[in-house]
Amino acid sequence: MYLKSICVVYLLVLTIKEIWKHGTLIESSKEFWIHKEINLEDLEKLPGRVRATWLKVCVHRAKPMKMSNYETNMTYHFTSKKILLVVTGSTDGIGRAYAKELAKRGMNVVLISRTYEKLEKVATEIEKEYGVKTKIIAIDFSRQNSTFEHIERELQNIPIGILVNNVGMNYPYPMYVTEVQPQFLQEMINVNIGATILMTRMILPQMQKRQKGAIVNVSSGSELQPLPLMTVYAATKIFIKSFTEALRFENQKYGITIQQLSPLFVSTKMNAFSHRLQKISLLVPDAEMYASSAINTLGVVNYSTGYWAHGIQYFFISIPPVWLRTITGGIMNQVFRKDYFSAEKKVSRSDENKTQKAFI
């Protein structure tokens, strides 16, 4: 009985710890209320925990703030503000929402994605809504011949405060490896791995020189175990985890923030293969809810799911052994695969009915 009680208490403590680590809690401690009127210039003089608390509350309330850790302290041609954000994969989903959230806090934004028309639309929205400046670069990361040379030319002499490596691609629905075209697999590797490595390699030297900046690598909860029917996708996300952790060690002497975000299911186009993942709920937030929460963790923790409910899920998913998680993941993806084919059949029947009516 005593052992059972101790285990329950232990799990409760760990859960609270994980919520703090992965989620977005607003702490109203005495230290915070003493410093709540603090001058932004003096933020870095506060003790670490007080500074973290202040940062969380300030960002949560969506007040413009000076993120001095990421300042460039330089001037450049297309913007008058000091902090510049670069987001890859910024026309949809988490990337778009993340760019908007930081633009809301006064950052000028470089948007990098594949479709020029979509980039123009998002850039116009950001400039109109938040009064910041934008720059767009239309690039297909799946083709790596001259892609990064072009980006480097476009960003020449522009100091970057924050780089968000968000661009990614997934299977259209859960598939066996032999069902996926070789070209698609190569493109996925280029986008999910190559883009993160080469964008980091491009931007990191200037951050090292200034000894300021932040790199956010967006991974996925699929890193927790091998994931059957999304085998290659999950493997690329495990790579991002390893890459980010090693990169953080290499750059700790420069004072650069290297953060990894590992969201679980978010209601975006990437997860459109199942109706279950398109319904916004406590466990499946939309991109805006997720980005608003994830930004609160930047500068506070190096690793996070970015969303409090995902933090709890991540903790409990991590408890079983890897072999059991792998089996569970495979079964889950088989369900999503059935969802996809069921939806396709409904669409096919609907099209057939429309055709028949047209002939009548």
Catalytic position from the list 171, 233, 314, 340? 233
Using one digit for the tens of pLDDT, what is the confidence trace for 196-218?
999 999 999 999 999 999 999 99
What rounded mean pLDDT belongs to the chain?
79
Every domain of the chain and the residues it spans: 63-304+320-339
E strand or H helix at 352, and its extent? helix 322-359
Kindly report the backbone phi and psi dihedral angles of residue 185, in degrees, each rounded to the nearest multiple of 5, phi listed first. -65, -40
> What is the DSSP-derived secondary structure letter of residue 257?
E
Using one digit for the tens of pLDDT, what is the confidence trace for 240-269?
999 999 999 999 999 999 999 999 999 888
> Could you give the CA distance from residue 94 to residue 100 in angstroms, rounded to a whole number?
10
DSSP 71-136: -----BTTBSSS-EEEEES-SSHHHHHHHHHHHHTT-EEEEEES-HHHHHHHHHHHHHHH---EEE
Using one digit for the tens of pLDDT, what is the confidence trace for 45-87?
444 444 443 343 333 333 333 454 555 433 333 443 445 888 9
> Could you give the CA distance from residue 51 to residue 336 in angstroms, rounded to a whole number?
43
User: What mean pLDDT do residues 37-43 have?
Assistant: 41
E strand or H helix at 316, and its extent? helix 308-317
The residue length of the chain stands at 360
Of all residues in the chain, the percent with pLDDT exceeding 70 is 73
Residue 219, both tokens: 């991974």
Which residues, 6 or more positions from 198, have their beta carbon under 8 angstroms from its beta carbon?
144, 148
Instruction: For residue 233, indicate whether it is catalytic.
Output: yes
Predicted local distance difference test score (pLDDT) of residue 277: 85
Predicted local distance difference test score (pLDDT) of residue 56: 39
Are the CB atoms for 225 and 326 separated by under 8 Å? yes
29 compared with 83, residue with greater pLDDT: 83
Specify the CATH architecture of the domain 63-304+320-339.
3-Layer(aba) Sandwich (3.40)
Most confident listed range (77-86, 143-152, 158-167): 158-167
Residue 348, both tokens: 């096919």
Residue 349's pLDDT band (boundaries 50, 70, 90)?
A: low
> Could you give the CA distance from residue 94 to residue 288 in angstroms, rounded to a whole number?
7
